[in-house]
Structures are given as structure tokens and as C-alpha cells.
């Protein structure tokens, strides 16, 4: 049986569409999920969002046991959550860190990710539609394992 790809989203991403649309666009998280499922085709997806660091850690542990790959937008946790960083280190498969916005064009506090040094690849600044490319790329990376 094909292990699912986990698409995990961090804090405030549940507000996509209403949240700073000049930065994150008008696409809602539900629309992002639909795009991801379309891009995944027959590949099973687990698509989740949480504002809780501990819940995201628990889901990464779940993925380590049951998942093939992770596409994660840690959102604000990107810059200070060693708990999520340490959890990602335990994941045996490919991980893509994803950000809707180009964090390097934003304030200094958005420039240093704790995750980038422990993931397979980083995708930044493609907008919400970039999740589709993220799914295609994580599928490729998983298939190459
Ligand atoms: C999303 C957030 O919520 C921010 O905290 C990050 C990221 C950027 C994004 O662009 O998807 O800094």
C-alpha cells in the first residue's frame, strides 16, 4: 500500500484568504488543499493545519511511522521551533519546507529558518499555487528513494 504524503501547515494558515492578502494572496486553505489533492492524483495525502506546535510535532512523528514524505509550511514556527526541527530530523524520507511568500524579501526576522538545514529542499515565494509544484516535487523525491 502506498504510504501517504503529509502536507502540514502551521499557525495562522487557517486564515489564508483573509490574512494579509497582499502577502499571502486570496487563496483559502481549503482551496490549497483541493489543489494539493488534484496534484497528488492517486497518491494518498494527509493534509492538516494546526496553530499548535505540539500538534505539529505529533503529526511529524505520525508521518515518521506511516508517511512517505512531508511537505511542510511551518509558518511562524519556522524561525524558532527547535521542537519541530528536531522532529523533522527523525523523519526518514524526503521533506520539503514550503513558504508562500518570499521570506527573504521580508523583515530580517523572517530570514533565518531553523528548518532549512534539516530538510531535503526549500520552496519559497511561489504563492499559494506553489503548493501544487510542492506536491509534484515531493512525489518525485519519494519515488527516487
Ligand atoms: C507563513 C507564515 O505564517 C509566516 O510566519 C512565514 C509563511 C511565511 C509563508 O510565506 O507561507 O514567515
> If 0-12 CB within 10 Å is exposed, 13-18 middle and 19+ buried, where does residue 9 land?
buried
Helix (H/G/I), strand (E/B), else coil: 80: coil
Q: Residue 117 has what pLDDT?
A: 98
Q: Is the pLDDT confidence value at 86 over 90?
A: yes
- Is the beta carbon of 101 within 6 A of some atom in ligand 1? yes
Distance in Å, CA 125 to ligand 1 centroid: 10
- Is the beta carbon of 76 within 6 A of some atom in ligand 1? yes
Whole-angstrom Cα distance, residue 76 to residue 64?
Answer: 22
Q: Whose CA is nearest to atom 5 of ligand 1?
A: 76
- pLDDT tens per residue, range 38-81: 999 999 999 999 999 999 999 999 999 999 999 999 999 999 99
Q: What count of other Cβ atoms lies within 10 Å of the Cβ of residue 29?
A: 18
- Please report, for the domain that includes residue 39, its CATH number: 3.40.50.9100
The C-alpha cell at 62 is 505520525
- Is the beta carbon of 115 within 6 A of some atom in ligand 1? no
Q: Is the pLDDT confidence value at 1 over 90?
A: no
Whole-angstrom Cα distance, residue 132 to residue 48?
Answer: 16
- Number of structural domains found in the chain: 1
Interval 113-117 mean pLDDT: 98
Distance of CA 34 to the CA centre of its chain: 15
Q: Is the pLDDT confidence value at 23 over 90?
A: yes
Distance in Å, CA 81 to ligand 1 centroid: 14
Q: Which domain holds residue 107?
A: 5-144
pTM: 0.97
Amino acid at each position: 500500500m502506498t504510504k501517504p504524503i503529509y502536507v502540514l501547515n502551521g499557525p495562522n494558515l487557517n486564515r489564508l484568504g483573509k490574512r494579509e492578502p497582499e502577502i499571502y494572496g486570496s487563496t483559502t486553505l481549503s482551496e490549497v488543499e483541493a489543489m494539493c489533492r488534484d496534484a497528488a492524483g492517486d497518491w494518498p495525502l494527509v493534509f492538516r493545519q494546526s496553530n499548535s506546535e505540539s500538534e505539529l510535532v505529533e503529526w511529524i512523528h505520525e508521518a515518521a511511522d506511516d508517511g512517505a514524505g512531508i511537505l511542510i509550511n511551518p509558518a511562524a514556527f519556522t524561525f524558532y521551533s527547535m521542537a519541530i526541527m528536531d522532529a523533522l530530523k527523525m523523519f526518514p524520507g524526503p521533506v520539503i519546507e514550503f513558504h508562500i511568500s518570499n521570506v527573504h524579501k521580508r523583515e530580517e526576522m523572517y530570514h533565518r529558518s531553523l528548518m532549512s538545514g534539516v530538510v531535503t529542499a526549500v520552496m519559497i515565494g511561489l504563492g499559494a499555487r506553489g503548493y501544487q509544484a510542492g506536491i509534484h516535487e515531493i512525489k518525485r523525491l519519494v519515488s527516487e528513494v
